[in-house]
A and B are shown apart, each in its own frame.
Chain A
């Protein structure tokens, strides 16, 4: 009987070793550990064995059963993994086919840049102040220390709005966001005429200049101005503030220089250049070989402008600065045609 068990085991394991797929495995299971298999027949005929044989044969039969079952378990796993490996190898994709497009939303690049600028300024305490786009000559020029016929007016050719009886104070499209400086100062003064509060604001918005629309000039452009007014604000503070701004905007190693300049509404006035981030200052097309990029105009608020805003220039000082988000983007992204911005071609917009 023991010999028979050994033979059963040997034959079964031999059969099993040659099996490679599931149906054969199922058949093996039926014929080797199934109810009518020789092994199970031995268990079925157990009652007929002698008292002495029972424990010996019982132990041997159990051993064979466990051996066959664990061999089956092992084989089942092997067959499963072999089948998986085969199907995985057949499921290979062409990974170079393009991915599926997703239609997503985006902000206009000019507004993306405006946000970057305003976010930095907000952290520096400059809160957004918005004001109207159509202005009076008084607010756009006279209050900002542009006298009538002043040569500086030629730097800012204006679009005028048709009106009658306003020869002394015509209506025009604002040429800069600076009229907002006057409006903001006057609002602040209204809150406390004796002791006007300090001001720290950022003035973003669309401005207009009479130009032909070409690759280099546009009739409208965004500007962001900053204005700080208080008791004890100095030119050194202006330098510190804008140096910090430039580092946040153009990288922590950005080098800046302050160059004397002229704006009617500030004195002293300066242009701020940042070392060209395209060539690192070595000279390139973008910086016209100068190694510097002009990014900001600034200065100490002119006494007449403080006065016009309601702040006593003997007591208060302040600084103002202005920049163009589109220009910054053009430099950063080597955009050589300003008309892309308001052209709104999706093929341009989708690159931002």
Chain B
């Protein structure tokens, strides 16, 4: 909400407190000031290195150079039809001022004005906004000749002074504006733009903010304002309003209170300039004195009001007494609202009707027929309380966010209905010369219960950690208008009549203690360390294991990615076919309509987006979502890896490395599983549901259980992505399965004796798997063969078709220094075994 400081000062003395101080106090108390907009008052200046605290905008008015002046005559310009020359008095001397303002143009050549017009006058050298520029551009008035006439000063528009964006005409000040007075002293202002939190709706008004400031500064809150009512004796028959109007509430849950008052003989015209200016600074359009009075009272008090043209209601009622009825709308019922829209209603909406038909959409917007017009003479003013949920849903349904629905949809205490109507009528009387009819029609079927809470110093200590006496607590709460009674060892606190957010019992206590803390000041509460016992430290093994997994993957050289959970079946369909998905009921877009079932599909998309990178090795650890009918889905954890591109980085003297293939992935998986300390690992052919190359894919079994799958993307699947020529190698692991295996800890001791190394190359049938050869070598060599490393695979014509050569490097190690003879014996045994078992021949 936008709050002019001048308005605030109607209710609290703020002398000696700077605008920034006010903003700081409010911000710390939960009324965050987003911005301060200066419209005349001096702005703070910051030296180098000094701290700002708020986003600040606007303009300060020079006290000497911008003053109140009066126009005495509007004369013709000798050389320009559309311009006029003003005879103006600035309190010190007469000036001739050139202007093109349309709102005084009609006075051109009418001679000396019978009543001078008060205006905002900027002298030579004054800095104001350029009225003709787009946006806000500062300009300083300099002497110039315009069409042969000297111009050195001007009468200002609201835009030029930073009040609003209006530049249609000049500001016409109220008649009582003192000529010669510095304009900043007369109407200089600053506007606080305050964020209103949902629980602070009671403060979305001037008195609410003033009350908070009173609590924060210890100053007095003045709730009554001076509204000089039009005191002329009325010639009208002032029958009490209760004789003329009656009210029927059909559902008190929806409409706990309805108050109506009547003012007669109003004269519709613009409100005083001070009022218009405050409303505009508060972000409200000035319409006429009656509408302005309802808005002004609302901004001031927080109670939205609605003005009906009384004579329209009277005519509709005919001979009968006017009867207003509030009721839920019928499904499909229609109403034309003030904005000219025909609204189709539902039973959720509440209507204010008379006996003929509906008049307005309760708490949200009035209807056209009974609205106040230029011809209105008598006004029936409504102030009511509505169910906030109902108003909220209605405003949302009809897309009608308004100042009224903002307040009503957050809850307005019914007590304010009466105060609001009285205040509104007072302003109408003051600004429209009306006479208020005696009495109010007040139907109040559902009075909220007063919230009473008991508070002790112990409670304060227990929740807030501060020591306060009963008297201190009472003092803090009284400032916010809580009624406090001290008895024995506790304080009985009754919530004030404007509040609906204070509960009873243990919740009410928390509600009240929050107010104690805010009133005391969060900044004054000390900082302590928790004295309560530390819970048993059990850690989180699953989380820790996943973090370890991430560390291993990063150490292996993989980049982690984090992707969206929301995808579409089509996107995942490029690499895997799925059945049922967890579907989003309100997706932001069709391509984010379901929760992912494949982590690999998500990582593949990221790899595709990065396809121009020389080398891609990326992984993600995260959940996928498996639907359970009408219940929460399962969220199994997965690891997905994608590799493609060059095996190592190129450089200016190193040409591109070969592309990643199946074995690059396998090597990394081996490292990963070794890092997780798994040993019984088997790589077997797979029938994965993923689209993988049938000859270049494998599943990983540990202790006989399949934990993951990896391989080259199937050429047909790869076609569906925009990858380069290099193969795309993928892997996916089930983390639940991977995590719950038994790792084997322990090490192989490092021998003191020197190892012996020997190479053997054998020729064998293509069909024999390398893993079988290695197994045979290890089995035959026994403990002495500590390492078997395949270092060459070779095929050519000499070896023969259907044959391959495998070359192994063997490491022999024993608890003694081995001799050549020892090595030869083992080697011969191995070769013989390979010959006999798999028909291998030693290659010489």
Contact = CB atoms under 8 A, between A and B. Distances in A.
Interface of A: 97-98, 100-108, 110-111, 115, 125, 127-130, 132-136, 149-152, 154-155, 159-166, 171, 173, 188, 197-200, 206, 208, 210-213, 219-220, 228, 230-237, 239-241, 243-244, 257-262, 267-271, 281-283, 288-292, 300, 302-304, 313-314, 317, 341-346, 349-350
Interface string B27-53: 111101000000000000010011111
A234 B533 contact: no
Contact of A164 (B529, B536, B630): B630
6 contacts: A105-B554, A105-B555, A128-B543, A236-B525, A260-B29, A261-B197
B36 to A, nearest CB: 10
Given A257-B523, A282-B50, A125 B27 contact: no
Interface stretch (B477-485, B508-516, B673-681): B508-516
Contact of B613 (A232, A259, A346): A346
Interface in B585-623: 585-588, 592, 595, 606, 609-610, 613, 615-618, 623
A345 B30 contact: no
Given A232-B531, A236-B526, A260-B29, A219 B632 contact: no
B556 interface: yes
A127 B550 CA distance: 19
Contacts of B451: none
A289 B559 contact: no
Interface residues of B, number: 107
B625 interface: yes
B625 A239 contact: no
Nearest to B535: A198
Given A171-B631, A282-B52, A283-B52, 19 more contacts: A97-B652, A100-B649, A111-B560, A130-B543, A134-B632, A160-B586, A173-B565, A200-B534, A219-B566, A236-B466, A239-B522, A240-B526, A267-B510, A281-B51, A291-B51, A303-B510, A313-B510, A342-B563, A344-B562
Closest A-B pairs by Cβ, 3 of them:
A236-B465, A260-B30, A234-B465
A110 B522 CA distance: 32
Given A151-B198, A259-B30, A159 B586 contact: yes
Contact of B55 (A237, A271, A289, A303): A289
B592 A291 contact: no
B143 interface: no
Contacts, number: 278
Given A212-B588, A235-B517, A260-B30, A317 B525 contact: no
Contacts of A129: 540
Given A98-B652, A129-B540, A159-B584, A149 B595 contact: no
A213 B200 CA distance: 30
Nearest to B562: A108
B585 A161 contact: yes
Contacts of B51: 281-283, 291
B539 interface: yes
B525 A134 contact: no
A350 B559 contact: yes
Given A237-B529, A303-B507, A171 B55 contact: no
Contact of B28 (A101, A132, A257): A257
B532 A198 contact: yes
B540 A234 contact: no
B530 A230 contact: yes
B559 A346 contact: yes
Contacts of A269: 514
Most interface-central of A102, A164, A166, A344 (chain B CB within 10 A)? A344
B463 A317 contact: yes
Nearest to A319: B530
B635 A133 contact: yes
B532 A132 contact: no
Contacts of A199: 535
Nearest to A165: B630
A240 B595 contact: no
A102 B654 CA distance: 13
B554 A149 contact: no
Contacts of B507: 302-304
A53 B448 CA distance: 140
A277 B523 CA distance: 21
Contacts of B523: 257-258
Contact of B625 (A102, A134, A166): A134
B651 A98 contact: yes
B528 A289 contact: no
B633 interface: yes
A305 B251 CA distance: 33
Contacts of A289: 52, 54-56
Contacts of B518: 260, 268
B666 interface: no
Interface string B193-214: 0000111110000000000000
B656 interface: no
Contacts of B55: 288-290
A90 to B, nearest CB: 19
